[in-house]
A and B are shown apart, each in its own frame.
Chain A
Amino acid sequence: MTLNRRAISYRVSTALAGAVTLSVVGGSGIALALDDPHGDKDVAVSVEIAELEGPGVLAMTVAGQSAALTESDSTATERQFTGTLPTVTVTDTRTSDEIPAGAYWYVLGSITDFSGSAGQPDIVSADSFGWTPKLVAGDPGSVSAGDEVDPGEGFADSEMLAMAYDSGEIAPEGSWSANADLKLLTGAAVAPGKYAATLTLSLFE
């Protein structure tokens, strides 16, 4: 008795997340106050924020869906390509009692091999790919970036990008961001051409 995939109807309730009341005094928009925190300090801004409706959420925000690797610092024997992972932000709006005791969230990364667009041999990621995760926003005492994996170290399935020590304890902090320096290291004899791989980031708790 499986559901017909095409016959499913969705209930989409709109504007749930927008249930925030912002009343701004002083003629200046809240967006202005946020976008330019170092602006005119004389503008009086008072903000009244209502409770978000419903249970809080553990959300992920990604700043992009791809990263280009460009050649840099290649030597006579090795070719090196580097890039930066788009910043990943995890936001937790749950209250501590909405989080199971001992639960902790984490973002894992896995990567496919780099496949050539013109039939040239694949570049095996486990032999050639590495990354250096970095926490770019948030308290390093509550969230830690994953370990560096050098090319050739065997970038395995599900390497750690960032991990919370305890979701419930750190939830009041609210938001954390991480990215990673990406590196692809190949032999000088690698077939020239375009290559593409997919890096999967997974947020679980």
Chain B
Amino acid sequence: MKANAFAAVVALAAAAFVAVAAPATAAVADDPVVSWSLAPADAVGPDGRSWVEQKATAGETVTEHLALRNHGATATTFILTAADGYFTDTGRFSMLQAGETSVGAGTWISVADDVLVEPGATAIVPFTVTVPENTTPGDHAAGIAASVLSSGTTSDGTLVGVESRVGFRVMTQVSGALAPALAVSDLTGEYSPSWNLFTPGELTIRYTAANVGNTQLEFGETVDGATTQRRDLFPGETRAVAVEPVHVWPLGIVSMDVRFESSVPTDAGLAVAPVTETIVFWAVPWLHLAALAGVTVLVAAMLLARRRNKTKIARLLEEARAEVRREREESLTA
């Protein structure tokens, strides 16, 4: 049992014979397979938390621990880093990369630079979160991670070093007045008519949500009776949202209500008043108008044709009558 021992044991333990991780095929150097996990802990060991959520006052220092377990077959030095946390454009928590500079809660965390962990061992490493004096109340996001650095091998051509990190979020709520607030801007509705007379067109609503309060916010919008929950925003973050298109009949000028609701995941007791905005948009029934015009032209053509036929028949009748008259006159004179 060598490099894949952990994965293999896990596969067995789960009584599921899934394919075990393929060995390195793309690695440039003979990098060892590294396998590790990181979780919040107390001074004794992992305590079952998935991430850290804590309350603190400005000026306070809180001591926490992380449990870093090496599941691999070789002793490995893991780099420990803390950085500002944020939600990506798609709403997934992440923390700043190695080359980026933290300015927020990431700078509050003090932790050892690195730690050497023997195979199969778990390192319990303390870290502190020191909230600076004068910190504004509310939620402050950071993350802490254990990473394995690129081996730094150089080769001819172009090399991509891969830094892999496993982390968890460290959320600190600084005591004081909490004021959750969601601001909605750039609310637009774009109507695209259907090419079928008998199906409604689609309205795509877009907006930008901004967390202008001081708490983490979860939010969502209700359009035409359908509510969609969006992923969370930290204070100061904004996100562009495109709502799943709704069906709307083209009835000229149409208005649609959009109701925005938000809540605070870190404090369920905090109520945030919902906001309703109305968008008004043109949904001109061009296709139906065109169809109407087409029908009109058709009917007119039919009427015209019928009138033409009438005249033609009248003329033919007249000609026939004249013929009869002529024949009668001819027979009389004969």
Q: Which residues of A contact B (CB under 8 A)?
A: 1-3, 5, 8, 10-18, 20, 30-31, 34, 47, 49, 52, 54-55, 57-71, 81, 83-89, 91, 93, 98-100, 103, 106, 108, 110-112, 114, 117, 136-138, 156-158, 160, 163, 172-177, 179, 182, 184, 194-205
- Give Cα A108 to B13, complex, Å: 27
Closest partner residue, chain B, to A64 (CB atom): B27
* Contacting residues, chain B, for A108 (C-beta < 8 A): 88, 92, 94
CB–CB B69/A16 < 8 A: yes
- Give Cα A175 to B8, complex, Å: 10
* Contacting residues, chain A, for B111 (C-beta < 8 A): 5
CB–CB A86/B162 < 8 A: yes
Which of the candidate stretches B144-152, B205-213, B296-304 sits at the interface with the other chain?
A: B144-152
Known contacts A65-B31, A68-B159, A137-B19; 4 additional CB pairs below 8 A are: A66-B29, A136-B22, A175-B11, A204-B94
- Give Cα A205 to B61, complex, Å: 25
* Contacting residues, chain B, for A16 (C-beta < 8 A): 45, 69, 120-122
Candidates A52, A137, A195, A197; contact of B21 at CB < 8 Å: A137
- Give Cα A136 to B18, complex, Å: 11
Knowing A10-B124, A55-B46, say if A49 contacts B98 (CB, 8 Å).
no
CB–CB B16/A5 < 8 A: no
Q: Does B7 contact A (CB under 8 A)?
A: yes
CB distance from B190 to the nearest CB of A (A): 23
Inter-chain contact total with CB atoms closer than 8 Å: 317
The proximity string for B residues 1-41 relative to A, scoring 1 for CB distances below 8 Å and 0 otherwise, is 11010111111111010111111111111010111110100
CB–CB B160/A83 < 8 A: yes
Knowing A12-B117, A68-B159, A194-B157, say if A160 contacts B90 (CB, 8 Å).
yes
CB–CB A17/B71 < 8 A: yes
* Contacting residues, chain B, for A55 (C-beta < 8 A): 39, 46-48
CB distance from A148 to the nearest CB of B (A): 15
* Residue from B115, B118, B145, B161 with most neighbouring chain A CB atoms (10 Å): B161
CB distance from A188 to the nearest CB of B (A): 15
CB–CB B160/A67 < 8 A: yes
Range class of the B interface residue count = 35 or more
Candidates A1, A52, A59, A84; contact of B130 at CB < 8 Å: A1
* Contacting residues, chain B, for A173 (C-beta < 8 A): 14, 16, 18
- Give Cα A98 to B46, complex, Å: 12
Q: Does B50 contact A (CB under 8 A)?
A: yes
Candidates A86, A196, A201; contact of B158 at CB < 8 Å: A196
* Residue from A60, A93, A174 with most neighbouring chain B CB atoms (10 Å): A60
* Contacting residues, chain B, for A20 (C-beta < 8 A): 9, 13
Candidates B22, B120, B128; contact of A3 at CB < 8 Å: B128
CB distance from B158 to the nearest CB of A (A): 4
- Give Cα A114 to B50, complex, Å: 35
Candidates B39, B46, B118; contact of A12 at CB < 8 Å: B118
Candidates A11, A30, A34, A59; contact of B69 at CB < 8 Å: A59
CB–CB B28/A158 < 8 A: no
Knowing A61-B7, A202-B167, say if A85 contacts B162 (CB, 8 Å).
yes
CB distance from A50 to the nearest CB of B (A): 9
CB–CB B18/A137 < 8 A: yes
Candidates B19, B47, B165; contact of A200 at CB < 8 Å: B165
* Contacting residues, chain A, for B113 (C-beta < 8 A): 5
- Give Cα A187 to B253, complex, Å: 49
* Contacting residues, chain B, for A52 (C-beta < 8 A): 13
Candidates A10, A58, A59, A158; contact of B115 at CB < 8 Å: A10
A-B pairs with beta carbons under 8 Å apart, 28 shown = A12-B118, A13-B124, A17-B120, A31-B1, A49-B9, A55-B39, A60-B37, A61-B34, A63-B26, A64-B31, A65-B29, A67-B160, A69-B158, A70-B158, A84-B25, A88-B164, A112-B97, A114-B158, A157-B97, A158-B88, A158-B89, A172-B16, A197-B160, A198-B161, A202-B94, A204-B92, A204-B94, A204-B168
* Contacting residues, chain A, for B92 (C-beta < 8 A): 106, 108, 158, 160, 163, 204
Knowing A17-B71, A63-B27, A66-B27, say if A87 contacts B160 (CB, 8 Å).
no
Q: Does B196 contact A (CB under 8 A)?
A: no
Knowing A61-B71, A63-B21, A83-B26, say if A12 contacts B122 (CB, 8 Å).
yes
* Contacting residues, chain A, for B150 (C-beta < 8 A): 65-66, 198
CB distance from B98 to the nearest CB of A (A): 7
- Give Cα A2 to B128, complex, Å: 7
CB distance from A202 to the nearest CB of B (A): 5
CB–CB A86/B94 < 8 A: no
